[in-house]
Amino acid sequence: MTRIGAAVIGAGVVGLAVARRFARLGLETVIVDGEADFGTWTSARNSEVIHAGIYYPFGSLKAELCVRGKKLLYDYCYARDLPCRQCGKLIFAATPGQGVALDAILAAAEGAGVTDLRRLDAQEVRSLEPLLGCHEALLSPSTGIIDSHAYMQSLLGEAEDCGAQFARQSRVTGLSRRRDGWGVHIDGEAEPAAIASLVVNAAGLTAHLLARQTQGLASGHVPQVRYARGVYFTYSGRAPFSHLVYPVPVPGGLGTHLTLDMAGSARFGPDVEWIDEIDYSVDPARHVGFLAAARLIWPELEPERLVPGYAGIRPKLSGPGEPAADFMVSGPQDHGLPGLVNLFGIESPGLTASLALADLVAEKLGLGWEEDIDASR
Ligand SMILES: Cc1cc2nc3c(=O)[nH]c(=O)nc-3n(C[C@H](O)[C@H](O)[C@H](O)COP(=O)(O)OP(=O)(O)OC[C@H]3O[C@@H](n4cnc5c(N)ncnc54)[C@H](O)[C@@H]3O)c2cc1C
């Protein structure tokens, strides 16, 4: 029987950040993923925005880990010449009445430790984005964009350089308790493929399903997870915007916004649609609604240039109409089982928070925090 220090289940951005962290601590680490490559689920289907931490309630994990993760992520990228850009973001009030929403966002952001937001009048907005017609806006200068694939590649590379292994096409179907760790069962095998002293369940959309197959884990420590699909339509051509542009938020999401990628392409979305199964389809008939939402940002947008893009799915711990739930990072002190951490509900800002989440997982397992992300460069 193979014995290892740690099994990290899920090679999305969070699992990779955790694996890198463990490997750098000298733990013999195996990253296990059911797919043929890393980062093919939610980590490949998002907006690639480095969020400032504006919308999350004071004291929440989302607020704390987003603000801390943003700094860690910029430092990580700058130190390694990874593609990212602090392009800034505008949250605009389309009508005078929405100014109240901007007041609330500003107050909440300051409470959560985001102190660099600036209020702009319509003329100041026009000087930054001449095509955006609005009443007023907030500018978030620390918001940015990142090439998430390059970032994940770097995390995996660093983990492997420190001795970690990546087990592809290996779906974990159960975790059994052993005297000296956890049996990791692959593809329904009764015998574990390995015994790991530490296990981190970073299985994203299906983390709750794996948790249900974890021996000894009481059902009260496995939350109900709901799926909220977010669809994008992309703009074919070069968009005349240099900032990310958001309306005031809507229930369940941030509202259909305009984001840019590192290649300068623009996309509109994601919207919010509650679904029961994992289904990434994009219905071309939704063009009408997307065009209407996109024209709030860019009134002259040519309809034929707006084309169906892709979809991502948020693993949500709250349902429609309920207050947004926080991330749930559940370790031994929470559920009582040694050596196990489950991550649930890692929706946005999980990409931004990934390095801070890795620190939190290490802390939950008694491994301590990494003070200097670049200490070993
Ligand atoms: C529409 C949308 C937009 C978003 N935009 C942003 C944004 O702009 N900025 C931001 O910070 N965050 C954003 N997010 C959130 C961010 O994308 C996620 O928080 C992050 O990608 C989650 O990463 P993960 O590693 O937890 O999960 P995933 O990326 O889903 O990875 C989970 C991995 O686990 C593997 N797996 C699952 N089950 C098993 C099993 N049983 N055995 C083995 N492997 C398994 C899967 O194959 C997968 O590779 C967005 C999310 C969505 C849905």
CATH of the domain at 264: 3.30.9.10
DSSP H or E run through 332 = helix 332-335
Residue 372 pLDDT more than 90? no
Pairing of strands 89-93, 118-121: unpaired
- Give distance in angstroms: CA of 40 to centre of ligand 1: 8
SS (H, E, C) 228-245: EEEEEEEECCCCCCCCEE
User: Tens of pLDDT along 178-204?
Assistant: 998 999 999 999 999 999 999 999 999
- Give distance in angstroms: CA of 53 to centre of ligand 1: 18
Q: pTM, whole model, 2 decimals?
A: 0.96
- Scored b (16 or more CB within 10 A) or e, 181-205 reads bbbbbbeeeeebbbbbbbbbbbbbb
Q: Is 62 in the pocket of ligand 1 (CB under 6 A)?
A: no
Phi, then psi, of 195 in degrees rounded to 5: -110, 120
293 assigned to some structural domain: yes
Residue 241: name the closest of 294, 290, 289 by CA: 294
Residue type, 197: S
* pLDDT-derived band at 368, boundaries 50, 70, 90: low
340 assigned to some structural domain: yes
Query: Are residues 129 and 230 located together in one domain of the fold?
Result: yes
Q: Is 73 in the pocket of ligand 1 (CB under 6 A)?
A: no
81 assigned to some structural domain: no
Q: Please give the residue that has the higher pLDDT: either 253 or 319.
A: 319
C-alpha distances (whole Å) from 280 to each of 28, 158, 366 are: 35, 31, 38
100 assigned to some structural domain: yes
Counting DSSP H helices and E strands in the chain, the numbers are: 9, 20
Query: Are residues 124 and 172 located together in one domain of the fold?
Result: no
Query: Are residues 349 and 276 located together in one domain of the fold?
Result: no
Site of tokens 């609005």: 134
| Shortest-distance Cα residue to atom 4 of ligand 1 | 46
Query: Are residues 109 and 236 located together in one domain of the fold?
Result: yes
Query: Are residues 272 and 248 located together in one domain of the fold?
Result: yes
Ligand 1 atom with the shortest distance to the CA of 186: 42
**Rounded-to-integer distance, Cα 348 and Cα 316, Å:** 10
**Quick one: CA dihedral 294, 310, 14, 263, positive or negative?**
negative
Q: Is 40 in the pocket of ligand 1 (CB under 6 A)?
A: yes
Residue 303: name the closest of 318, 293, 317 by CA: 293
Query: Are residues 356 and 242 located together in one domain of the fold?
Result: no
**Rounded-to-integer distance, Cα 304 and Cα 190, Å:** 54
Q: Is 228 in the pocket of ligand 1 (CB under 6 A)?
A: no
Query: Are residues 118 and 252 located together in one domain of the fold?
Result: yes
User: Tens of pLDDT along 330-366?
Assistant: 999 999 999 999 999 999 999 999 999 999 999 999 9
Ligand 1 atom with the shortest distance to the CA of 270: 1
Phi, then psi, of 152 in degrees rounded to 5: -65, -40
Q: Is 31 in the pocket of ligand 1 (CB under 6 A)?
A: no
- Give distance in angstroms: CA of 46 to centre of ligand 1: 9
369 assigned to some structural domain: no
- 295: helix, strand or coil: helix
User: Tens of pLDDT along 132-191?
Assistant: 989 999 999 999 999 999 999 999 999 999 999 999 999 999 999 999 899 999 999 999
Query: Are residues 299 and 189 located together in one domain of the fold?
Result: no
| Shortest-distance Cα residue to atom 27 of ligand 1 | 204
- Give distance in angstroms: CA of 325 to centre of ligand 1: 17
123 assigned to some structural domain: yes
- Give distance in angstroms: CA of 12 to centre of ligand 1: 5
For the chain, the domain total comes to 2
End-to-end distance of the chain based on CA atoms, in angstroms? 35
**Rounded-to-integer distance, Cα 66 and Cα 61, Å:** 8
For residue 315, what are the contacts with CB-CB under 8 A and spacing of at least 6? 42, 204, 205, 207, 208, 225, 226, 227, 344, 345, 346, 347
- Give distance in angstroms: CA of 263 to centre of ligand 1: 22
Query: Are residues 243 and 129 located together in one domain of the fold?
Result: yes
Q: Is 7 in the pocket of ligand 1 (CB under 6 A)?
A: no
User: Tens of pLDDT along 95-129?
Assistant: 889 999 999 999 989 988 899 999 999 999 999 99
65 assigned to some structural domain: no
Residue type, 331: G
Residue type, 222: V
What is the domain-level CATH number for residue 208?
3.50.50.60
Q: Please give the residue range of the domain that contains residue 191.
A: 2-47+149-223+324-364
**Rounded-to-integer distance, Cα 324 and Cα 226, Å:** 12
Query: Are residues 277 and 174 located together in one domain of the fold?
Result: no
- Give distance in angstroms: CA of 122 to centre of ligand 1: 37
Query: Are residues 219 and 162 located together in one domain of the fold?
Result: yes
Query: Are residues 122 and 238 located together in one domain of the fold?
Result: yes
